[in-house]
Structure 1
Amino acid sequence: LGHVVDHSGVRPDPDKISSVSNWPVPSTIRQVRAFLGLAGYYRRFVSGFAKIARPLNNLLTGIPANKKSETRRVQWSSECQAAFDALKRALTQTPVLAYADYTLPFIVYTDASNQGLGAVLAQAQEGRERVIAYASRSLHPTEKNDANYSSFKLELLALKRLAWVLWNNAGSLSWLLSTTTSSTAQVKAMLMQMLCPGFQLTPSLPGLQTRSVRQEQA
């Protein structure tokens, strides 16, 4: 529902996207939730969705879901307006996502910072790289604490529970996966979850035009 599916791949329904592009500036909690609900339905088409939407999600932080709070007016800032415009722009320029071919390896580009976690799922199909989906999320409060999560722990957090050929731009992650020891039980637990059959770390993908998730999210 809400998608166009053909031989080239999957893309959002133009009529639904038109609704997003014409959405008026929200002024209440209910209107912010409604916009994020529709935009979030297509988040797999948008690189870095969580980072873009963060100012809007911050408007909802600590707000209970009840009728009284839904009519509360929001403090709409220039940062909120920039996020609102960026989301609408991104949703009107979404790519056609390829179908997954389960006979081929998957490629995941990852990025992690105190702004959030991001990933791009792709495959090399017929000699060129095709994006299958984008994924992202904001950090929980404990994950924003440097004492709990350093940069390489955030990179591991973005990778956890996946098996793929990974192209990454984090030197600390390459070092971490090449060493046999680790300083904390938390890191060891993450490594144990990652190092499953099919996992491969590579600095580049020969014969392909590769890019980092940082460039995807620019």
Structure 2
Amino acid sequence: MTAQKKIIVIGGTGYAGSAIAREAAKRGHTVSSVSRSTPVERIEGVTYFTSNVADIGSAIVGADVVIGALSPRGANVGALAKTYGQLTRQVADAGARLILIGGFSCLRRQLGAPRMLEVESFSSEIPAEIVAEAKENLDVLNSLLTDATGVDWLFVSPGLEFSAWTPGEDLGHYRIGDDVALFDENGKSAISGIDFARAVLDEIESPTRHRAQIGVAY
């Protein structure tokens, strides 16, 4: 039987965060969601707190895992790397594991290739506002790659099709890659919210990688 863990989900009311919180609670972990607002519909087994990341130091004391599922939108525009930098130090001080949910464009097409966002032909194909968000996620990853706190971090990038607008289906399986993007036999890179959450919880319960980036897709 898997040992119960205390899991804090920062941004636990968003698409990725709520899926992860739901799966963690379902598995019997002690789950808290921290966000600027509480959801209309709460997930059974999840405790909700309204707070800014800057004020959550005491909330993560005793936590085993802290998950960052914030998006570089709204109040986070231009501030995500700084916010996560502060969170990284807090998690390191708490002796917890840090898992940050990133973006598809932070992955590579093949081993040793530039990250997709660093390839001009890729970034020119997507809307400017999406490029801006992707750059913030890449800033977060680059900060982790040079982290000096020693925190046990993991940066998780979902497939290209991963959002509330393309929720996908509960297929009950997934694949894990390192920093190279995964595509199916039809050239599609996608993962549903529930299967992505399963991948994250499986990694929490039985860690396979430390201080590394992984990609999750079918």
Question: The TM-score by the shorter chain falls in which range?
Answer: under 0.3
The structure with the largest alpha-carbon Rg is 1
The alignment's TM-score, normalised by the length of structure 2, stands at 0.25
The alignment's TM-score, normalised by the length of structure 1, stands at 0.25
